[in-house]
A = this chain, B = another copy of it.
Amino acid sequence: MSKKIIGVLEGDFIGPEIMQEAVKILKKAAALYNHAVEIVPLEASGTAYDRYGCHLPPSTLALAGQCHALLKGPFGGPPEELHHPKWSGVEQGAILPLRKHFRLYANLRETKVWEPLMHLSPVKERIVRNVDVLIVRELTSGIYFGEKKERMLNNERVFADTEAYSESEIRRIAIKAFELASKRKRKVTLVAKSNVLKSSVLWREVVNQVAASYPGIENDYMHVDHAAMQLIMNPRQFDVILTSNLFGDILSDEASVLQGSIGLFPSASLGDSAFGLYEPIHGSAPSIAGRNIANPISAILCIALMFNHTFHCVTEAARIERAVRRTLESGFRTRDIFTGEDDPRLLLGTSEMGDRIAGML
């Protein structure tokens, strides 16, 4: 790859602020390792709506298709304006179509507990220490994309959604999960609800078939209700959790609690090629936007994931992760991870945190 082309969808509210820091780290890492990079700004969500009346203009999709990777900020508006058309259609109009258009069926969300921030966790230290769980969430099928129905029955409305999965949809993501586990602690836990859902029965069957090709990897199963409990009671038992779109949505947000701040977690959405979409798992936080106080770490860690999964540059990725860890170990904090015990002189704004991490690279 001669030049790495990265499309940037800034997102709303704190989006532009944190994306700027991610791009700062991207450029610095590229310079250190002699990568040529080109940044392509792409319009979507709020700003696109203001200009084009839609959240994902065709021009954005066309340009995005020419990039090697996409870096995406959070999309969405403030709670009190959710019914405004500028915001109400953002999920159906931009977030889901982006995933579907690029066939990004595998969403990777890693919950790692950072030692210097362990005190922030609502969960006790003896439980969260050394947690490292990777949730592999199916992202382009299931009840998010299944048939939706609205009908009248006995003079009242019945609204319905369909959770549907085909064998191939399950197989391709199961393979991803087992491949990822082979580079980690070699355990995959399928989470589903096979005592109630027919689709879960198919998940179990296909995952068992796939597992047969990975004899060195433990193949475990857990019902989703039990998993929601075990994630907090004993998270170290998990390595890779493989699950559906809906269960992955719930469990990955739940798992992020273990660290105590949602401002730290990146995610990767991947398909069959190296192309990937990288984004923080948190929202656009309108209430703190424009004040240079948002935490850019989730966005910066997106760059590490991008080097890993799209560019296969593990050294660069590890170096970014290490720079983040050292910055935290040195006591630097943004407001969301600052407590009374921290040194107020080490409290940084968004861009200063980006500078610090860049300096540590």
Contact = CB atoms under 8 A, between A and B. Distances in A.
Interface of A: 91-92, 96, 121-124, 127, 143-144, 146, 148-150, 153, 156-168, 193, 195-199, 201-202, 224-226, 228-229, 232-233, 246, 249-254, 256-257, 262
Nearest to A153: B166
| A-side interface mostly | helix
Contacts of A96: 196
Contact of A250 (B122, B124, B148, B225): B225
A161 B159 contact: no
Given A122-B233, A124-B123, A228-B251, A157 B166 contact: yes
B228 A196 contact: no
Nearest to A158: B166
16 contacts: A92-B195, A122-B124, A123-B123, A143-B197, A148-B198, A149-B198, A156-B168, A158-B164, A159-B164, A159-B201, A160-B199, A161-B197, A162-B162, A224-B249, A225-B250, A225-B254
A232 B161 contact: no
A112 to B, nearest CB: 17
A229 B202 contact: no
Nearest to A245: B196
A199 B91 contact: no
Given A229-B262, A254-B232, A165 B156 contact: no
Contact of A161 (B123, B149, B163, B167): B163
Contact of A254 (B150, B166, B228): B228
B161 A199 contact: yes
Contact of A160 (B121, B198, B252, B262): B198
Contacts of A257: 229, 232-233
Nearest to A166: B158
Contacts of A224: 249-250
Nearest to A96: B196
B198 A225 contact: no
A195 B91 contact: yes
Contacts of A157: 166-167, 202
A160 B162 contact: yes
**Which of A165, A196, A229 is most buried by chain B, counting CB atoms within 10 A of its CB?**
A196
Contacts of A161: 162-164, 197-199
Per CB-CB distance, the 8 closest pairs between chain A and chain B, nearest first, are: A160-B164, A228-B254, A225-B253, A159-B202, A148-B198, A91-B195, A158-B166, A156-B167
A160 to B, nearest CB: 4
Contacts of A121: 124
A146 B163 CA distance: 11
Contact of A199 (B159, B196, B202): B159
A254 B196 CA distance: 18
Given A156-B167, A156-B168, A123 B232 contact: yes
Most B CB contacts (10 A, CB to CB) among A143, A197, A232, A253 go to A143
Given A121-B124, A158-B166, A232-B232, 17 more contacts: A91-B195, A92-B195, A122-B124, A122-B232, A123-B232, A124-B124, A157-B166, A160-B163, A161-B199, A162-B162, A193-B246, A225-B249, A225-B253, A225-B254, A228-B228, A228-B250, A228-B251
